[in-house]
Amino acid sequence: MNFVEELKWRGMLHDMMPGTEELLAKEQVTAYIGFDPTADSLHIGHLCSVMILRHFQRCGHKPMALIGGATGMIGDPSGKSAERNLLTEEILQRNMDGMKKQLSKFLDFESDAPNRAELVNNYDWMKNFTFLDFAREVGKHITVNYMMAKDSVKKRLNGEARDGLSFTEFTYQLLQGYDFLHLYETKGCKLQMGGSDQWGNITTGAELIRRTNGGEVFALTSPLITKADGGKFGKTESGNIWLDPRYTSPYKFYQFWLNVSDADAARYIKIFTSLSKEEIDALIVEHEAAPHLRILQKRLAKEVTIMVHSEEDYNAAVDASNILFGNATSDALKKLDEDTLLAVFEGVPQFEVSKDAVAAGVKAVDLFTENAAIFASKGEMRKLVQGGGVSLNKEKLEAFDRVITSADLLDEKYPRVAARVREHLETGWEPTLALLEQAMGEGVIRRVSLPVLQRMISASIEDFLADRTLDAQGISYTDALDEMISILLEGLLVR
């Protein structure tokens, strides 16, 4: 397998030095990518670099992941408008341990293969390097004029940052350049890879090697990943999407990929999975024939969730997605851990009720009207229960005055009451739109534009909820609501 060709068809190649492809064709090459240990988990913004190392190893070459234990204490000015906070040695060690554990899911560090991956930490060779030694052995080879010409430095000096550029950050490219020199001399590393914003730092390292010992090394960069609309990839309203389940649950991780746009799904499935070109091309054709089925998004979410977490976590995420819009059972609901349960119902109206009130036993009609105003009146709830329109923990509530106790709580905390779409349509459009949009995001109903959805709901209400229509047709109120919901969902359900 040709590494450069693999990156090209996947859209993962931005630039490379002349001669890089020829080098890769004639020998097994050792290459590295650097990762800043600013947290104890990688996030999906790192995932493109991780996948490049994964493809590199699959193509028979030797990947190295460099953890910037020393450079992480300083901060890289590339693409930044402010100097980052410096990290202590203890925090850096904790962060590096977490990152190593995650990288081992993608790369083979343990086998006896000649191209097994290695993890290195630049703090190991920088911690005893004195300033005078650094100035004499490294600084003398690169001129200030050369360093000032780098875009990352010029942007910081041209007014983009209020505080300018500190000397500490100015030396970053020399430190990263020395990493390349050290790995070239000790590990035979001839290639450094990274994001396109790292081109200046990488080429500084190549120049340092050339001036120090006349060696020839190479550089390869990948494009910075963005969304089709130009927005920043990997960010949500709540922040980064992390690979560690402590920070982003497998359910939320799965949902992130499931909800990307069609255009982004076609790009991301090439970048963030190991599926072959033939498999991906076939999936794209299948998706374009029936985009409402969201075939690309579902396969993308499956592949990445299994790769980062596990197949068990993927199956649990799918089951959780079916809780609101699907045929999930009460047992499936009860299996959810607390974090996933809360994530599933994020955005759904929620109420807090005293646990003591439930422990003492309370009638459902009182609990859901007085303790929690889910229904506007007891009469409304009674009518919905009699029509089969209310469920508790995914089981039909048979009697409106049934006594609710602690035994009905999930994880001894959460009861889940679901009044059907009927109840939401009676009380207003907003909850209905929110629920239907979530169902579209999860692929349960086909995706339609908001104006179309509003017109469908409006037509349904106009046809079946207007008193004059009911009188004229002799349809009961409850039957009209059932028929309206059936017609609305009939046009939207994914089959």
Catalytic site residue from 136, 140, 154, 232: 232
Catalytic site residue from 141, 155, 168, 197: 197
Q: Could you give the CA distance from residue 231 to residue 39 in angstroms, rounded to a whole number? A: 23
DSSP state of 47: H
Catalytic site residue from 80, 100, 141, 420: 80
Place of tokens 């929110």: 434
Token code pair at residue 328: 């999930």
Q: Could you give the CA distance from residue 49 to residue 52 in angstroms, rounded to a whole number? A: 5
Phi, psi of 65 (to 5 degrees): -105, 120
Q: Where are the alpha helices (DSSP H) in 27-111?
A: 47-58, 89-103
289, exposed or middle or buried, with CB in 10 Å at 0-12, 13-18, 19+? Answer: exposed
Catalytic site residue from 30, 36, 40, 46: 46
| 84 in active site | yes
Catalytic site residue from 186, 226, 236, 386: 236
Catalytic site residue from 14, 58, 211, 235: 235
Q: Could you give the CA distance from residue 247 to residue 240 in angstroms, rounded to a whole number? A: 9
Catalytic site residue from 14, 38, 382, 463: 38
| 43 in active site | yes
Terminal alpha carbon distance of the chain: 39
DSSP state of 226: B
Catalytic site residue from 20, 30, 171, 176: 176
| 432 in active site | no
464, exposed or middle or buried, with CB in 10 Å at 0-12, 13-18, 19+? Answer: buried
Instruction: Give the Cβ contact number of residue 171 at 10 Å.
Output: 19
CA of residue 242 relative to chain centroid, distance: 7
3-state percent helix, strand, coil for the chain, nearest multiple of 5: 55, 10, 35
Amino acid letter, 306: I
Catalytic site residue from 43, 58, 94, 155: 43
| Selection from 267, 277, 340, 344 nearest residue 309 by Cα | 340
Q: Give the largest CA-CA distance in the chain.
A: 95
Q: Are 34 and 71 in contact (CB under 8 A)?
A: yes
- H or E element at residue 64: strand 62-67
Amino acid letter, 350: Q
Catalytic site residue from 14, 58, 84, 446: 84
| 168 in active site | no
| 176 in active site | yes
| 71 in active site | no
Q: Across the strands, what pairs with 216?
A: none
| Selection from 214, 153, 206 nearest residue 177 by Cα | 206
Catalytically annotated residues:
38, 43, 46, 80, 84, 176, 197, 232, 235-236
